[in-house]
Amino acid sequence: MHAEFVGSIRSVSEKDWRQLNDTRNPFLSYAFLAALEDHQCVGLDTAWRPDHLLLRDSQDQLIAAMPLYQKLDSWGEFVFDWAWADAYARAGLEYYPKLVAAIPFTPATGPRILIGSGIDPDEAIREASSALIRHAEDHNISSVHILFPVTKQHQQIAETEFMTRLGCQFHWYNHDYADFDDFLQSLTSKKRKQIKRERRIVRDQGITVRVLDGSEATNHQWETFYRYYCSTFFKRGHHPSMSLSFFIALAETLPKQTLLTLCSKDDKIVAAAFMMRDDENLYGRHWGCQHDYDCLHFDACYYTGIEYAITHGLKTFEPGAQGEHKIPRGFLPTPTWSSHWIAEPQFRTAIRRFLKEERAAMTDYIDELNLHSPYKQDPASCPNN
């Protein structure tokens, strides 16, 4: 194998990329990554500079690939290392740029290296890990970070020079529920009544909720969603990361995997949410509303997603990062992983010590959260694989 780094996904043919991505994960699709670049969500004018890693064999055939970015800040990653950057600055060192193997603005678990059939995954991951470190050293880059890998790849990466960091999200798992009511019956009486009450409050406000896929949603509906999506960022003093043309492009190129939840009152859209899916998983991403309607966020972003997952036979629903308030609504604390390599030896030693202490605290935190399960009998949580 030999490594190559390219500044655009367009340096690879879509056919070659598709042969690697047999997971159907939408965020790893050529269409998604190309849309990010084509519609200026990432690139030279942003903090995300594409620097994708390709592994080729002796015949120069693409056998593995990793979406990779040089980052100029830590926004949009959801694995927080601001304190590390601050410590570097206080020591008179440059933390940025750094290398980040992740899907921009997307804290969803998934493979972080795509590997062709017939290729030894352990060998590919070892070679990719070594290539990342060499690339960082050759370009005076402070660190390399691999965010939200699936458990199997995390375990393989942990066998290399990378350090492991434990995190936590809240995921919903489908235990072959027949319908939403069947799911409700698995909850304790108190939680079941709470969810019914919250959905009833939404209906009593005269709001209806429906889910469209990319082939059904119109440009006008995407424009309305985008206006609300931007307002969510503006309210928090941030700039929206995605462009309207990006969402429309996804609807056109990934129509069955791109979903738009529309909340309507008096035939007018008053809130909307964007989700994506693959053959087994649903991923909640962005939300916005015209006004604050009681319980609407819970219904549009959680309950409607659960109902959709049950109806379409999906196994897992990842609604996004953080949020202990998701537990009483059926989501369970789920370990997530990231892997880190730090160039500067003294900082590497200090961060390794920090990660060991943090992991013990995070393990205790997850154990404590599991004591508050909303289920009558705790269902076996699905591993993040």
pLDDT by 10s per residue, the chain, length 385: 899 999 999 999 999 999 997 778 999 999 999 999 999 999 999 999 999 999 999 999 999 999 999 999 999 999 999 999 999 999 999 999 999 999 999 999 999 999 999 999 999 999 999 999 999 999 999 999 999 999 999 999 999 999 999 999 999 999 999 999 999 999 999 999 999 999 999 999 999 999 999 999 999 999 999 999 999 999 888 899 999 999 999 999 999 999 999 999 999 999 999 999 999 999 999 999 999 999 999 999 999 999 999 999 999 999 999 899 999 999 999 999 999 999 999 999 999 999 999 999 999 999 999 999 999 986 654 444 4
- Tokens representing 234 are 């503006």
Q: Which helix (H) or strand (E) holds 248?
A: helix 244-253
CATH architecture, domain defined by 175-314: 3-Layer(aba) Sandwich (3.40)
CATH 3.40.630.30 domain locations along the chain? 2-168+333-370, 175-314
Instruction: Report the alpha-carbon distance of residue 382 to residue 303 in Å, rounded.
Output: 19
Q: Look up residue 214 and give its amino acid.
A: G
Instruction: Report the alpha-carbon distance of residue 180 to residue 199 in Å, rounded.
Output: 12
Question: pTM of this prediction?
Answer: 0.95
Of the candidate CATH numbers 3.30.420.40, 3.40.630.30, 3.40.50.620, 3.40.50.1000, the domain formed by 2-168+333-370 belongs to 3.40.630.30
Sign of the CA dihedral 380, 109, 235, 238?
Answer: positive
Sign of the CA dihedral 344, 346, 348, 354?
Answer: negative
Instruction: Report the alpha-carbon distance of residue 54 to residue 160 in Å, rounded.
Output: 19
